[in-house]
Every structure is written in structure tokens, then in C-alpha cells.
Structure 1
């Protein structure tokens, strides 16, 4: 407690005493003893009130010792078991857990990682992917204010995420890789990479590129083949030497029927190969009978046009061409959809022709749009003309019913520049994105769709959508999320199928069992999102004839189900609502592939590099005693003496209020009893 506070308390006592004396000491009555009691009670009252105002406090300081943390991150992927290192890893973790010296010096935190980082509860080496990037990203945030060296128990083989060799430095603390595996070189033939498009078009041929690698000292000859079911489609003899140890094989295969077709590429193994799993790789392709051609029409250049083309052509089923209005006039039969960018009077003939031919349209309205012209040719909507501009932020409509819209972090997107003023529709429409002005979400659409007389149309009321695609890349380090969102709009406008109360989103085939996810939206009869539906998916294995049922889980206004537990096979499915007679059926294929089975050795080079970059030391699993000894003897990891300062009130205000109430009550009662009131 400070000296000034003590002086305030003394001064409060003097003031309380003087006021009490002034009130009772000079009273003209002879009850001197009662006056002394009254002075005391009034002193208590006034002094307590003044203490409440001063609120004296004192600081309580206690010291404690904080041990450094030791992070034990264990690779829980299937490659550890494939390299026969699972027992070694578990034994080492058990050694750390039971080490009295380690637990005395460190607070040990255990994690496992594979597809993602998790607090360790069980280690079974069953995950089908290894994401080191997630480990360093998350732990760097959790332990940024602590001394926390990391024991990274892994084989160093990465399958997804950014390259950890350069990304591990963001952790900012020493990393001690404990290497599971060895550096022994084995003779091995493998299909390193297989590149093929997701879609092919009927009656065409599609290219397949396969990279085959050889690791060994002898000259060998082997055979590369591609099968579809029991049919041999391609065969080639390949020769390898120690120096000539890789081949790129380019072939083309026919697409003779519509549907999903699976293939298997195989390189014949040698007798002494240790890992023969990586000699085979399955792939699939979906054959479709048409390609959607889209025209992007504008009479001036703008970055948005390039973004439209890039996003559209990220889907192999779509092509896009940028045209002037006059060029598009003679080519309307070549395109299934027209994107009209900020139309003006030069679009008059084109708009009339598109209406006559009943073509679907996507119109972008911005500051350069001639609103007088647009209002004159549009029968379905009118835009207020104010000759003013405004920047509008984004608010996603989670009840949009025509197709599934994922929230790709729209709230982080920069504003679009638009015409100030409202737009009014004469027909029913649906809003995908509302205009948001600062923190106020308006009822005006920024992006909307509608259907009229069997045609579909979309309106985007703002320019500079190229900034959205750029921001989406900054958010996720990929254009995929934005391109998928834009692709759904294009897919909706390219089709004239009737609106459905049950919408599904899934892939025709999945590479491996990881990430077999379905999404669904369900709407009531008024096409408002129904969060009360009980959706299930019944899956039937067409080969084994086994049936399984999975329930959907509601998450962010989308029903989702994860079926990664299904083995590779061909499946038929039916999604239904148990409360209503509405269902949808289809089929999908899961290809047999496990990337974690492709490795023969630990990636020693990368693990040694991250140890060097982080001032740590690499160890092989056989040297576990060295690891613990070095950690115990490293002077960088010492307990830190910290102080904890607590400010505590001298007297609880509740007790002071109680004392004030008691003293006033006694004083009033005594005065009343003695006839002084």
C-alpha cells in the first residue's frame, strides 16, 4: 500500500472524528455518556463511507518457478508402420513419459499429427496423409511466449502441405528430429507421378503422362502396362541403368462411352524389390458428351474479364472467350452462356438476339454501365439512377436455395464498387450475397439469380471482382475456393434443370479413401433452408454387395457426411430424408491408393536440414539415450523464476456497507429510545 493511500486513510479518520464531534459534543443536554456513544457510531459511519471512496488496496507478490516445455510431436501416419518403425516410436514415447528426470526438468506436452495436428490421446499409425505444415503453423502460435523445444518423431516423408524443409523455421525454437528409419538404399521401381485430366470428352482421346523411376545399380529391363479392368490397353518395355534411371511415358487412351472409368498403371517389379506397392497406381476419368462454351462480352478492357476467364477455365468442362459486342453477334450459337460486362448501348442488338434465342445471361452492373440503356431493355428489373458510386462489402445469404454455396470467408473480401441506389425486381429472385454498407447489412442484392420463362439469369452489381479472387488466394494460398464458388454460378446458369429441394455436392470418383465427403442442402416447400431434416445416405458396394448407412451432420447450414472409412470400390448411394418422401441417388468410385505406402526410407536430408536451421540436433531412433541426455544437459532450457502480483482491497466493500448499516441502525434506535427524535 502506498504512502499516499495511508495519508488519505489518516486524513479520513480525522475528518470523520471532527464531523462526529461537531454533531454531538456540543449538544445542550446532560447525557454525556450517550453523546460519546453517538460520536463513536457516527465516526464509524463517516469513516467507513470515506474508506469506500478511497478504496485502499495493497499488492501481494508471490514468486514461482516455471519449467520449460518439451513438445513431443509423433508422426501418426501409416508410413511409420510400413517402415516397421511403429514399435520403436511407441517405445521412445514411453521412455519419455516414464523418465523422472525429463518430467522434473520439463512440462511435457504430447501431440500426434497426420492429416492434422491433435493433442495426443492414442497413437495407431493409421492416418493416410502427413501434413508437417499444420504442425509448425499451430504450435508456433501456442508456444510463441514459452521456451518449448520440440522432439519431432517422424520418418520425414510429407504428402500434403507446404514443404516443411523451409517452413519449419516459423516455429522459432529448436527442433530435434528423431528419425524413424534408415538411409539404406534398396532396389526399387516406382511410378513417381501420374498426370491425367479429370474429364474427357466423348469420341476423343485423352492424354496420360506417367513418370517412372528406378533406384538401383544394375541394368534392368521391365514392362509398363495400363489396364482397364481385365483389358490391356497399353504395354511398353522400358530399360533402366544406374545413370538413366527415370522415364516419362506419354500415351493417349480413347473415350468411347459416357461415365466414370478407372484404370491401373503398372510397372513390373523386380524380384528383390522391398516395396512393390508403389509399382501400381490407379487413376480414373469422367467422360462427358459436351463442353460448355461461355462468351465474356465487353467493349472495354478490365481485370475482371481475365478473372472470369481464369475461373471458368479452371474447370476442364468449360471454355471461355472474351469478345466485343459486335463479334458476339455472329457467334451466339457457339456459346451456352453469355457474360455481359457492364453493358451499354453497343449491346442493344446482342441483347435482343439473346432474348430471341432464349439464352441464359450473367450481367455485371458497375459504374461504367449505362443504366438508362439497361433499364430500357430490361423487363424484369430496374436500377435507380443517382449518378453516384458506393463501395459495398459482402454478406452471404445462408438461405440461398438454388445450389450449395460454401462460405469462403466472404467477410474478409474487399468491397466492390457499385452504383449507389436500389434495384427493384418485377419477378421473384434469390440473393446469393447482400450488399453490406460498413456494418449495416442491407436487403439489396450484390449478387442475385432469377428464373423467368425457362431461362436463368444472374446479376452482379459491382466491379473489381478480381480483388475477391486475390483475397481468396491470400486466405487459403489457393484459387480453388473462389473458382469453385464461381464455377457453381456458371454451372447453374449453363443448365435449365428445375430447382430441387434436395441438392447434393460430391465427386464422381475419389483418389484413395481420405476425404470421401458429401455435402447436402435441404429446403422446405417454400424453398427456405430446413435445419430440422434428418438426412441419411445409404451406400451399397456394387462388388461386395455390402450396405452401410451414414447420417448427415448439420454444420454451418450445410449437411455433411464423411465416408472415409469406406474401402476402395464402386458404390451406389441414395440420400433421403426420413421425415419426407424425398431422395436422390447416384454412384461414385473410390480408387485404391495410399500415398503413405510409397516410401522406402526416412527423409534424412530434410530432417537434418530443419534441425540445423532451428539450432537443434537430429537423432536416429537407435540413439534415444543421447536425445534425453542432451536435453537434460542443455543450459538453454532452465526453469524461470516469475513473480505474480495481485492487487487486493484492504477491506471488502460488502463488509463496509454492512458496518455502515449496523452503526446507523444502532444510532437511530438509541436516539428513538431516548426521545431524541
Structure 2
């Protein structure tokens, strides 16, 4: 308390005594016991009021002791069980948690981890992934401001994530790894890695890359084979030595039929191998037929035909067949898109077939087009007939919505020769390029697309597009920009995908070490995402015929379900809406693979390095006697005593108000009782 405040308190006491004496002592020859009591009560009242006005601050000092934390981080992955260390792990955890000396010195807190950290002491050793670095990252947020030595009970084998040996540094605590597993190096062959694309095109070959590793001291021979069903589709004899202990194989496999094809890559095990699970890997490939066949129909000879064919076929997955209006009639179903180049009355039968088949088409109109016939046969637009022609240049419409169109400097392209006159559309139309004459926009489409009754169409009002391709080459020293533009237009018009209120997102097969996530989007009748619907998925195992039903959970912009708990097999499923009669079905395959069973030994080197880098100490599971002693005797983990000093204003002390009220009440009561008021 400050000296100035102390002086004020003394003065307040003198003042209170003076006021009380003046009221009960002044002009009185003698003091009765009752007057002395009245004087004392009045003194207390006045002194208390003056103390409230002065409001001195009282200092309160409290002492507290803070024990350091002892964090037990237990590996809960299936590799612990596979290495037969689950019982040892549980026994050690119980031993540490029940140790009286440790409980006296530390606050013991237990966590388990697999793919993520959990605050729990329940271990199942069933998690299929291990991320030790992520566990340290999470612990660093929890124990950022405290002393928390950490016992890591693990085999040290991490299946994904950053290298914990060096990326643990955000966790500023000593780490004591307890190493689970066999440290003896056994002779072992394994497929370290296998790389393959998910998709392949029909009648092509897809590449496969595999990395084979040998751990051993003698020379050995083995055979690497790839099996599809019961057929060996690839085989190669492999030789390993102590020095030459790895091989990288690159080979191609044929994609002969459409669909998902499962393969098994096998490195034939040696006779004395302890772990043969890591000798094989399952993989799959989905063969798709995306070869787009396009008919370019024309009854006139024009250089545009060759330019269009070259441009479209720059994509190897597209092929163009130039036919006349009669040749195509018997093979119309073979084509995903029909390009009608300058149609005339000979196209009459073709238009009838196209309309009956509801085929997508791309119409190119030029000076040789029969506009009378086109206006009569076509129901989506009419072109004014003036008998005159005009050269139109192109201006890109930057607001075109159906797909992204890059500006390839259209304004530098030569003008297209076209019929003069306006065009009237009877359906909503999206304009890609507008007509311009001498830089003045006509606000009329030169190239446009539209959709009607589930069919997509495009129309180009001009010929000599071959000059555009040539000019694009002069501008860029490549045909790529122009061919890419035509490719996007063809991709759009060749697709007949219609809007659906229920859309699914999934892949045809999932590796056994990845999450099996199926996503869905559900739209209302205005095609606005609907969050009110309840979606369910029914999954059937094709091998066992077992059926399970799961709800899909709303997740921001979609619904999704995690089916990672399903065993490896072939499945068919149906996603259905509960409030409306809308559903969609599909198939997928889960490949058998457990990355946790690929390990034969504990990763002793990394765990020992981790202990050294973090200023801890490593122990083997069969030699943990000195672990407790090391923790108890380490001076870094001493209990901390903290002294807290609080400054409390007297006005916050409620008992002083009680004293004032009590003194005033007692004085009034005694005076009233004795007839003094």
C-alpha cells in the first residue's frame, strides 16, 4: 500500500473519531456505557464511509503449483497388430498410467493416432493409415505453452504425410520413442511402388511403372508377373544382389475391352521370406471408348472441308469422315455429330433422319447454300434471302456462357464470305462470334450455338474458314490455337448430356488405402441446389449379395458418404431421394490393399534420430525399465510454483457495506429502544 494512501486512512480515522466524539462527548460531563457504544458505532460508520471514498487497494498473494504434463502418444494403426506388438503396447500404457511416482510428478494424458490424433486411451490397432508428423503438429497446438515430455509408442512406420524425423520441429518438447517391432533385418522382396493411370482408351496401350526392392545380402532370382483374372499378361525374370538391390520396370499393357479391369502385380517370394504380403499389389484401369466419329457432309468441293477435317483430327480421339448427302444415310447412327456443309435440297432426306434420331448437328452456311430449302426444312432459324453476299469479320462475344472461348485474335482473321441479310431465331441462342463490317458490329451472330429438345446445334454463317486456320498459323507459328478453338466447339456440339436433378461423383475403382467417397448433387425443379432433400445410398456386395443402406450427409455444396469401411470387393449402388421418385445407380470396385502390412520391421533409425533431435531418449519395448527413472530424474521436468499477486479495490469488498448497514441499524435500534428518538 502506498504511503499517501496510508496517510489518508489515518486522517480518515482521526476525522471519524472527531465526528463521533463531537456528537456523543461534546457538552457531556461524563460518558455512560450506552453513549460509549453509540460513539463506537458512529465511529465505525463514518470511518467505513471515508474508507470507501479513499478506496485503498489491497494486495492478495496466492501460491500455486503446476505439474508438467506427460503425453502418451500411442500408435493405433494396424501395423502394430501385424507386428504382434499390440499386447506389449497396451501393457506399457497401463504400466505408465498406473505408476504412482509418475502420477505424483506429472499430469498424464493419453492420445492415440492413426491418420489423425484422438484424445483417447482406447486402442483397437485397426486404423489403415499412419501420420506421425500430423500427430506432432496437433500436439504442438495443445501443449504450446507448457512443459510436456512425450512418450511416442510406435513402430515408426509412417504411410503418408511429411517426414516426422525432421518436420516435428513445431513441437518443442522432448520426445521419448518406445520402439515396437522386430529390429532384425530379414531377407525380403517387395513391390515398393506401382504407378499407372486410372484411364486408358480402347485399342490403345497403357504404361505401367513399378519399383522393386530387395533387402538381403546374397544374390537371388525371382519372377515378376502381372495377372488379369487367370491370365498372365506380363512376366519378367528379375535378378537382385546386395549392391544391385532395386529395379524399375516400365512396360505397356493392352486395353482391348471397355470397362474396369483389375490386375494383380506379383513378385514371386523367396523361400525364406517372412513377409509376403508386400510382394503383390492390386491395381485397376478403366478402359473407355471416347473416339468421337464425326460426319462432314457436303455435296460441293471446297478447301474448308480439308481444313475442318485437319483441325478436328488434331485430337487423336476424333475422326472425321467426308461424305455426301446420300452416303451418310445408312451409317448415321455411327456418328456422334454431323457437320452439314452448305446444305441444299439434296439434304432433304438427311434432315428427316437427323430430326427423327434427334442428332446433334453443326451447320455451315455459305454462298452455295440453298436458303429457300434451309428456311423450309429448318425449324430453329430463318435467314433473310436477298440474293447478295457480304464479307464479315468476327468479333468475340466475351459473355458467351456454355464453355470458355479464348480470344485467338479473331479480329485479325480474314472476313468470311456469307449471304447478306438478317437471321431470326425461334429458340434462345448463345452467340460466340458477332458479325462486323469495317470494324462496325452488326449485332448479328456469325457463329452461334443453341439447345433444343435435348439436342445441341451450332451454326456458322460464312465460308472460307480455311483462311482462318492459315492466318492463325501465321500469327502463332502453329495451328494449335485455332484447332483448340474448333476442338472446344466440336466437344460441345458432340455431347448430348442433358440436365439432371441428381448428379453423382465417384470413380469406377478405389485403392484399398484410399477413402471411398461418393458425392451427389440434388437440384430442385429450377435447377437450384436443394439442401432440404434426404438422400440415401443402398450398396450391394456382388460377391456376398449383402446389402447395406447409408445416409448421405450434406456438406456445403454437395451430399456425400464415406464407404471406406466396406471390404475389398465389387459393388453396385443406388442413390435415391426420399421425397421424390428420383434415383441413380452405378458400380465401383474396391481393390484389396493394406499399406500397414507392407512393413516388416520397426523404423529404428528414424525413431532414434527423432529422440536425438528433440533431446529425448529412445527405448525398445523389451527394455523400458529405465524409462520411468529417466523421466523422474530429469531436472527439466520440475514442478513449477507460481506466485499470483492480485490488487483488489476496497470498494469491491462487500463486507464493508454490511458493516456500515449493521452499525447504522444497531445505532438506530438502540436509540429508539432507549427513547432517544
Do they fold alike, i.e. is TM over 0.5? yes
Q: 1:555 to 1:58 in 2, by over 3 A?
A: farther
Residue in 1 that maps onto 2:210: 210
Q: 1:61 to 1:359 in 2, by over 3 A?
A: same
Q: Output the CA distance in 1 between the equivalents of 2:4 and 2:556.
A: 57
Contact 2:72 2:108 survives alignment (8 Å):
yes
Alignment of 1:452-463 (within 5 A): none
Q: Output the CA distance in 1 between the equivalents of 2:73 and 2:627.
A: 14
Contact 1:60 1:646 survives alignment (8 Å):
yes
Residue in 2 that maps onto 1:83: 83
Contact 1:513 1:568 survives alignment (8 Å):
no
Residue in 1 that maps onto 2:166: 166
Q: Where does the alignment leave 5 or more consecutive residues of structure 2 unmatched?
A: 27-35, 293-316, 318-393, 396-401, 419-424, 434-438, 446-453, 459-490, 671-677
Cα deviation for residue 271 of structure 1 reads 2.1
Q: 1:42 to 1:532 in 2, by over 3 A?
A: farther
Cα deviation for residue 585 of structure 1 reads 1.5
Cα deviation for residue 505 of structure 1 reads 2.8
SS of residue in 1 equivalent to 2:58: strand
Alignment of 1:505-654 (within 5 A): 505-512=505-512, 514-556=514-556, 558-652=558-652
Cα deviation for residue 378 of structure 1 reads 10
Residue in 1 that maps onto 2:473: none
Q: Output the CA distance in 2 between the equivalents of 1:162 and 1:6.
A: 64
Residue in 2 that maps onto 1:97: 97
Q: Deviations over 1:578-632 (max 9, x none)?
A: 2222222211111101100001111111111111111111111111102122222
Contact 1:128 1:514 survives alignment (8 Å):
no
Residue in 2 that maps onto 1:73: 73
Q: Output the CA distance in 2 between the equivalents of 1:625 and 1:492.
A: 71
Cα deviation for residue 134 of structure 1 reads 0.7
SS of residue in 1 equivalent to 2:600: coil
Residue in 2 that maps onto 1:239: 239
Cα deviation for residue 12 of structure 1 reads 6.7
Contact 2:513 2:595 survives alignment (8 Å):
no
TM-score between both structures, scaled by the size of structure 2: 0.64
Residue in 2 that maps onto 1:400: none
Residue in 2 that maps onto 1:180: 180
Cα deviation for residue 216 of structure 1 reads 2.2
SS of residue in 1 equivalent to 2:623: helix
Cα deviation for residue 659 of structure 1 reads 8.4
Residue in 2 that maps onto 1:340: 406
Cα deviation for residue 657 of structure 1 reads 7.5
Contact 1:52 1:653 survives alignment (8 Å):
no
Q: Output the CA distance in 1 between the equivalents of 2:263 and 2:432.
A: 39
Contact 2:85 2:181 survives alignment (8 Å):
yes
Residue in 1 that maps onto 2:287: 287
SS of residue in 1 equivalent to 2:80: helix
SS of residue in 2 equivalent to 1:340: coil
Cα deviation for residue 184 of structure 1 reads 1.0
Q: Output the CA distance in 2 between the equivalents of 1:24 and 1:506.
A: 96
Q: Output the CA distance in 2 between the equivalents of 1:494 and 1:5.
A: 92
Corresponding pairs, count? 513
Cα deviation for residue 74 of structure 1 reads 1.0
SS of residue in 2 equivalent to 1:88: helix
Residue in 2 that maps onto 1:475: none
Q: Output the CA distance in 2 between the equivalents of 1:130 and 1:42.
A: 77
Alignment of 1:423-434 (within 5 A): none
Alignment of 1:289-368 (within 5 A): 289-290=289-290, 338-340=404-406
Q: Output the CA distance in 2 between the equivalents of 1:291 and 1:25.
A: 118
Contact 1:513 1:590 survives alignment (8 Å):
no
Q: 1:349 to 1:517 in 2, by over 3 A?
A: farther
Q: Are 1:59 and 2:59 counterparts?
A: yes
Contact 1:535 1:578 survives alignment (8 Å):
yes
Q: Output the CA distance in 1 between the equivalents of 2:499 and 2:606.
A: 52
Q: Output the CA distance in 2 between the equivalents of 1:62 and 1:527.
A: 66
Q: Output the CA distance in 2 between the equivalents of 1:492 and 1:72.
A: 58
Q: Output the CA distance in 1 between the equivalents of 2:122 and 2:440.
A: 63
Q: Where does the alignment leave 5 or more consecutive residues of structure 1 unmatched?
A: 27-35, 293-316, 318-327, 330-335, 363-372, 380-451, 457-490, 671-677
Q: Output the CA distance in 2 between the equivalents of 1:524 and 1:532.
A: 10
Residue in 1 that maps onto 2:110: 110
Contact 1:360 1:455 survives alignment (8 Å):
no
Q: 1:653 to 1:641 in 2, by over 3 A?
A: closer
TM-score between both structures, scaled by the size of structure 1: 0.64
Q: Output the CA distance in 1 between the equivalents of 2:202 and 2:567.
A: 29
Q: Output the CA distance in 2 between the equivalents of 1:374 and 1:583.
A: 52
Contact 1:337 1:359 survives alignment (8 Å):
no
Cα deviation for residue 669 of structure 1 reads 13
